[in-house]
Structure 1
Amino acid sequence: MKASQIILLYCFIIFSISTQLQAQFISVNDAKIADELVNLLTSNSSCIETANPFVSGDNFTLGKNSYGTFINTNANFPFRSGIVLSTWSSTQSEGPFVRNLGGGGNLWLGDTDLNQALNINSINATVLEFDFTPLTNNINFNYFFASNEYQDDFPCHYSDGFAFLIKEKGSTAAYQNLAVIPNTTIAVSSTNIHPAINFNDKGKLKTCPASNENYFGQYNDNPANLSPINYAGQTKVLNASANVIPGTTYHIKLVIADDRVDYYDSAVFIEAGSFNSNVDLGTDKLLATNNAVCFGEDYILDTKLSPTYTYKWYKDGILLNSENNPSYTVKSPGIYTVEITLNPSTCFVTNAVTIEYTPEIILKNSNLIQCDIDNDGKSFFDLTLAETEIKNNIPNLGTITFFENLNDAIADTNPILNTTNYTNKSHPQTLIAKVANPYNCFNYAELTLELSNDIPNRVATITAVNTTHFGGNKNSATIEYTGSSDYEFSIDGNHYQDSPSFENIPAGNYTAFAKDKNGCGISNPFSFSILDYPKYFTPNGDGYNDFWTIKNLNLLPPATIHIFDRYGKLLKQFNSSNLNWNGTLNGLLLPADDYWFSLIFEDGKKIKGHFSLKR
């Protein structure tokens, strides 16, 4: 191949690459007037009437404007077209990211309304403002903020920012800023949206904490030569919206400015046609976001628009025949859509909302019975004893609040505070239990308080205590009783339980009780013992553990004990009347070792075990 051909091929490749790269950048036209900018913003909506457009900024010495329109063919850039408002020449917003713009100058003033909205000292402000009259009850637009402040630690100190200011035309009230972090009143700026930043401050490594990082989009310096715009970083696409009154004229002011320093410039990119007047049916009502509609309740979807408009309502995509009013009452879960044709008929809007319902709170009425010992018609009730039954074993229900009547329960006034020691006011008396689920939905149940004077028939009689012995930590006791009431049981007189069976009881002497839960009395005490053998003894004459013995063995039927050494030699035999061994054989001290025993009752039952002799 000839050298001239190689050179031509090389130039063609370079030209092709250059053309391809150039196609990745936005293209800005700054020769637009205010009316053209506003028309581009509202190009997709016939439901907004605009008037009195005005734009201001700096036209610079070269005739370049700080505002303009842009078009884009880069799939990685969020908008195909729109308007750009900047703090320097808007054409300098074209990519790639190569440098700081820095050309505003101190003679280009800021904006007092933006200063108030962002609490900054602005310079180099660009403003687009106009009047508009919506035909619906909601407006919104899509935008993102880009800035060369997204370098080094500048976001930690400088608040270049943008505001979307709105108020009724002619009003002396302060503007409302719609360009805020979603679900907050925090203004969009380089200080309020950025990731964590590590920087060097006079040789010391410091960190500027992240601020609303989930709304930061990206840095554009890696690789800088492919960035569609000439800004170091940008936010994600944000949506500004507001509820408005149909037919009312508002004044809109879109303004961007630098904070104090003009060298690091910023811009806002607003999507063409995204300034819309819509209908707002409200937020989705979802279980996942804890705002679902309570079971059994109606939920009204209200467009708040004129009944002279034409309405079509849909549930899950199916037309609801005869539903043609501005509002619709939801009674079941689904996706609800409204289509509205306004006057003029060229204005058409639609909106959808998802409605979910919480599970039903199924409660159970309950009652408590207390004995009226002194026959005065009054007694103390522990209302919390009925909570488990009232909740009907439904998990994740909140606390129960008790009220003396339904009106107080509904109004959530005059709750009963002394729930563990409540004195009834009548006999019988019905209280209202109010129970909430995690979605702050409520249901109600009745708690009836009753008194009883049938004291003798309610006191239990303990007839026996069935025990197991010599089980180590497996000893048990079961109380046998007679009685026709609801009882709780104890083997120490202090700690009570619902079950008459007790497990894992150490050896010792005990007293059993059965107590009426309704306060009608307690049984006579019933004494019993749990037997077990000691695991070791120390026959050294110090008065402690000198004998191996089974305490309280005399309480059981007669028995004989045999003690053996490890080789099976019988060392000692005694019965229930002679209950100990001192560790000797024929008067001689036996060595420290393990020994075995056999306990044989008259009925043939045997218990075997072993223990240690320590010296």
Structure 2
Amino acid sequence: MMKCVKIILFYIFISCAVFDATAQSISVNDSFTAQQLVENILVNSSCANVSNSVVKGDPFSGIQNSNGYFNNQGGSFPFKEGVLLSTWSSQNSKGPFVRSLGGGNSSWQGDTDLEQALGITNTINATVLEFDFTALTDFISFNYIFASNEYQDDFPCNYSDGFAFLIKEINTASYINLAVLPGSSTPVSSKSIHPLINPIPNSTEPIKSCGPENEFYFGGFNTAASPINYAGQTKVLTAQTKVQPGKTYHIKLVIADQRNQYFDSAVFLEAGSFLPKIDLGPDRLLATNNPICFGKSFSIDTKLPASLGYTYKWFKDNVEFTNNSSSYTATSPGIYRVEVQLTSSCIATEEIKIEYTSEIILNDTSLSQCDIDNDGISIFNLTKVDAIVKNNASNLGAVVYYETLVDAQAKINPITNPATYSNKLVNQSVFARVSNSFNCANYAEVELIISNNAIAVLNPITTCDTDGTNDGLAQFDLNTQVTPQVIIGLPAGLIVEYYLNPTDALTQQNQLPTIFKNTIQNQQTIYSKILNGPDCYAITPIVIKVNTFDPPNFQEETFILCQASAINLTVNTGFSSYLWSTGASSNTITVTNPGDYTVTVTNFDGCEKIKKYHVITSGIATITDVTVNDFERNENSISIVYTGIGDYEFSIDGAFFQDNPIFDGIAPGEYLVYVRDKNGCGLSVPFLVYVLDYPRYFTPNNDGYNDIWQIKNLDNLPQSTLFIFDRYGKLLKQLIASDLGWNGTFNGFALPTDDYWFHLNLENGRIIKGHFSLKR
């Protein structure tokens, strides 16, 4: 056991040695009386009337006190000197920080006023400093730092010693605790101010870790370099409150452990910080978004009653000006300071910095609106003058309109429908309120004017129905077809918008597009709104009219032009003008060349209609050849070969014509072939052709019918030769084209019934072979 104690003492010694090498510990003197602590240390000024000072604490040690005077000895501790109140011997507060269980004693009692103020129980080891003071001003404060050994491990999640700065008017019962977080009623403690507490391994506490609480006010954990012997501390905090000058108050500063005497805490009070102060309020700065609005005055008030008889000196930018009052009304920026003679030997002083916003420059203006029923009441879009009112300033807020300046200044009864506002009176004004980012406002008047400028009635704006449907609907380019006629003779700079009805024109809703197709056939009335900037100059009706033009017989036509001829193209008479694609201007032209021709006719409304003509060349065909397929009985055919540019039909007898140049199933004989132009340009030169065939049998019995076997029309091929054979190939007869034929004999003898063969050598070199029957 002794060995362990020695080791602990050794490490304490080493820690102290390290601290001495790196930081300066505070010094503590615990021999000061209560009066000395209050009057000479905490107040240390003739400006505070204090009395009845009492200090209590540490009743068990006999020679050491839990209160005292401290000095930072030029070290890093934030306060140079002050009063120390702790829950163990104040001498133990000297640095460096050494982790230990602390001091105190279970017989050292707590404080019931502290418990009542904080709503806690079981306090022990209380140290109390009390005194009375008479307020000379309406505001007191003092600066302090809370330090504690509870800032270890996970203790801030579970425990906190209690302390309070209590004040009450003398001879009253209820205290107010001034040791709270700024702007709240939360007491300052290690539980209410700490950073993130990470989980502690093997911890036996109920809560092992917890998130940060008001970490901004946490000053930091202490080490062996700390000037005080506490695990952690807050930043410098201020306890402050309003009081009534001339009244006497009782102050009780108290700190105590809660539940046990270990892990002690202390409160360090800055020397000289408890003084009567003058509260002029916060600085009014642009940077903190609370400057004074341009043109406004600001009352700088010490809030000290005249009955106290104080004297005052006022300064602006360190230059004194005459004013012996408890308040001053500032009208310009500067640093203002007041010095108040509280007693013959006490002067309290305070200053405030005042900045002003820039002037909000607005424009009074007017807004004209047309009155379609001439009753002096119309619908105004107030927002159209927003930019004019704000002088095009982009850094200003929205424009809000009111019916009276009083309402605008009081910010009550705004116009809720500024885009569709109906004036209540003829020549009424409304008032615009515009604020900047500092909520400063200025005001502008907007005069509402009824405009009823007379506009001459326009002739109907006409156009022609040219979309091919002839339904009385057509597109109008309102900007080019209508606007120039609307604004002729009017002041320069006007613009024109178009609407279907006067109400839409008045409220500028449902504006028509520039390219507008009428929605009522043939004739429709629309409304133009003539604008001069945001002002309505006039609203006037515009009649738009669609002329239809659909003359008869204007379908496309096709004409045939025979070669080396001319035709006339004609359109109906009765139009105001004609223009052919050839440049001609009559209703008839003569053309000698094929192609497409058009004529544009114009009626007396100026509408046009175009008729198209297709002129196609045609002509007489030339037969270049005729292909004959013969000697095939029922399959004999004629195929006509031709040239030409026309549309043709064909004939082999000059009477019947067909579209096909091929004729099938042709009987043997002589044919005169024709090609005829269907378009009426005429017949070709006829072409003579023969179709040959042979009889399949003959009966040479001298009955005058079928007694001779011959090939019809062979005489038209005079260079042809015909040979007849029996079945054994014996030549029986040789004939030429001029011979009449074969009578069925050989050397004068009649041949018997049988089949016989022939060879026909045509003059064109073609050879035809076949056989036929001889029947007796």
- Whether TM-score is above 0.5 comes out as yes
Q: Tell me whether 92-101 or 348-357 shows the greater mean CA deviation.
A: 92-101
Deviation digits for residues 27-68 of structure 1, max 9, x if unmatched?
A: 222233322221234443211111122222332245432222
Amino acid aligned to 1:219: F
Q: Between 284-293 and 99-108, report the one with greater CA deviation.
A: 99-108
Instruction: List aligned pairs for 1:204-603, cutoff 5 A.
Output: 208-220=210-222, 224-305=223-304, 308-320=309-321, 322-343=322-343, 345-454=344-453, 456=455, 481=484, 482-483=486-487, 487=495, 489=497, 515-516=529-530, 518=536, 520-521=538-539, 524=542
CA deviations over 1:442-491 (Å, ceiling 9, x no partner): 21111222223336379999999xxxxxxxxxxx9976544359646579
SS of residue matched to 1:166: strand
What is the alpha-carbon distance in structure 2 between the residues aligned to residue 164 and residue 578 of structure 1? 108
Secondary structure of the residue that 1:228 maps to in structure 2?
Answer: coil
* C-alpha distance in structure 2 between counterparts of 1:413 and 1:154, whole Å: 54
Q: Report the count of equivalent residues.
A: 502
**Are the structure 2 counterparts of residues 428 and 243 from structure 1 closer, same or farther at C-alpha, using a change threshold of 3 Å?**
same
Structure 2: distance between partners of 1:318 and 1:165: 40
SS of residue matched to 1:386: helix
Aligned-residue offset at 1:330: 1.1
Partner of 1:176: 176
Three-state SS of the structure 2 residue aligned to 1:199 is coil
Residues in 2 aligned to 1:211 and 1:263: alpha-carbon distance in whole angstroms: 23
* CA gap 1:55/1:380 in 2 versus in 1, 3 angstroms: same
How far the C-alpha of 1:310 sits from its partner, in A, is 3.2
**Other-structure match for 1:131:** 132
1:100 CA drift (Å): 3.3
Kindly provide the amino acid, as one letter, of the partner of residue 353 in structure 2: T
- CA apart distance, 1:359: 1.0
Is the CA contact (8 Å cut-off) linking 1:127 and 1:254 kept in structure 2?
yes
**Deviation by residue 1:106-150 (Cα, 9 ceiling, x = unmatched):** 544443443354444351332212110122232221111111111
Q: Structure 1 residues 249 and 57 mapped into 2: Cα distance closer, same or farther (>3 Å)?
A: same
The answer to which of 416-425 and 332-341 deviates more is: 416-425
Cα distance between partner residues in 1 of 2:500 and 2:337: 67
CA distance in 2, matches of 1:455, 1:161: 86
Query: Secondary structure of the residue that 2:224 maps to in structure 1?
Result: helix
Shift in CA distance, 433/460, structure 1 to aligned 2, threshold 3 Å: farther
In the alignment, structure 1 residue 40 sits paired with structure 2 residue 40: yes
Structure 1 position 283, deviation (Å): 1.2
Map 1:118-197 onto structure 2 (within 5 A). 118-121=118-121, 123-124=123-124, 125-172=126-173, 174-197=174-197
The question of 1:111 aligning with 2:120 is answered no
Unaligned runs of 5+ in 2: 1-13, 464-476, 519-525, 546-579, 582-595, 601-609, 613-776
Give the whole-Å Cα distance in 1 for the aligned partners of 2:181 and 2:23.
32
- Change in Cα spacing, 1:109 to 1:423, as seen in structure 2 (3 Å) is farther
Distance 2:397 2:261 in 1: 56
Provide the C-alpha distance between the structure 2 equivalents of 1:373 and 1:136, rounded to a whole number of angstroms.
69
Q: Give the aligned residue type for 2:248.
A: T
| 1:319 to partner: Cα distance | 2.1
Higher RCO, Cα 8 Å, sep 6+:
1
Give the Cα–Cα distance (whole angstroms) in 2 for the partners of residues 314 and 121 of structure 1: 51
| Distance in 1 separating the partners of 2:498 and 2:88 | 85
> In 1, Cα distance between the equivalents of 2:415 and 2:157?
52
Give 2:698's aligned residue. none
Q: Distance in 2 between matches of 1:40 and 1:433?
A: 61
Deviations 1:415-455 (A, max 9, x none): 22232322211111111222221112121111222223336
CA displacement at 1:519 relative to structure 2: 9.3
Residues 230-277 of structure 1: CA deviation (Å, up to 9, x unaligned) = 101111112222232221111111122334454222111011111111
Question: What does residue 555 of structure 1 align with?
Answer: none
- 1:293 partner SS: coil
Residue 165 of structure 1 and its aligned partner are, at CA, apart by 1.8
Q: Would the aligned equivalents of 2:282 and 2:352 in 1 still touch at CA under 8 Å?
A: yes
Structure 1 position 372, deviation (Å)? 1.9
Query: Do the aligned partners of residues 208 and 17 (structure 1) sit closer, same or farther apart at CA in structure 2, a change above 3 Å counting?
Result: closer
Instruction: Say whether the 8 Å CA contact 1:23–1:73 is kept in structure 2.
Output: no
Which string of whole-angstrom CA distances, capped at 9 and with x for unpartnered residues, describes residues 153-202 of structure 1? 22222233432222211223x33322223344332211221122222477
Q: 3-state DSSP class of the match of 2:336?
A: strand
Distance in 1, Cα, partners of 2:65 & 2:57: 7
Amino acid at match of 1:521: I
What is the alpha-carbon distance in structure 1 between the residues aligned to residue 191 and residue 540 of structure 2? 72
Distance 1:63 1:185 in 2: 38
Instruction: Tell me the amino acid that sits aligned with residue 405 of structure 1.
Output: T
Could you tell me how far apart the structure 1 residues matched to 2:337 and 2:349 are?
Answer: 7
Partners of 1:24 and 1:349 in 2: CA distance: 34
Give the distance between the partners of 2:207 and 2:500, measured in 1 at CA: 66
CA contact (8 A) 1:313 1:338 kept: yes
Helix, strand or coil at the partner of 2:418? coil
Letter paired with 1:210: P
**2:23 touches 2:227 (CA, 8 Å); kept in 1?**
no
Hey, what's the Cα distance between the residues in 1 that align with 2:289 and 2:112? 41
Are the structure 2 counterparts of residues 89 and 385 from structure 1 closer, same or farther at C-alpha, using a change threshold of 3 Å?
same
Q: 1:488 to 1:24 in 2, by over 3 A?
A: farther
CA distance in 1, matches of 2:172, 2:83: 27
Equivalent-residue separation in structure 2 for 1:461 and 1:96 (angstroms)? 102
Partner of 1:51: 51
Q: Deviations over 1:542-565 (max 9, x none)?
A: xxxxxxxxxxxxxxxx99xxxxxx
Shift of 1:105: 4.8
Return the TM-score normalized by structure 2: 0.57
Change (3 A) 1:135 1:291: same
Q: 1:385 aligns to what SS in structure 2?
A: helix
CA contact (8 A) 1:47 1:136 kept: no
Deviation at 1:409, TM superposition (A): 2.2
Do the aligned residues in 2 keep the contact of 1:455 with 1:521 (CA within 8 Å)? no
Change (3 A) 1:454 1:117: farther
In structure 2, the residue corresponding to 1:208 is in which secondary structure? coil
Counterpart AA for 2:247? T
Aligned residue identity for 1:271:
E
Contact 1:97-1:225 within 8 A present in 2 as well = yes
Which residue of structure 1 aligns with residue 83 of structure 2? 83
Deviations 1:183-225 (A, max 9, x none): 44332211221122222477999752222222211210xxx32
Instruction: Write the distance in 1 (CA, Å) between the matches of 2:361 and 2:458.
Output: 35
Runs of 5+ consecutive residues of structure 1 not aligned to the other structure: 1-13, 465-475, 528-557, 560-572, 580-615
* Alignment match, 1:613: none
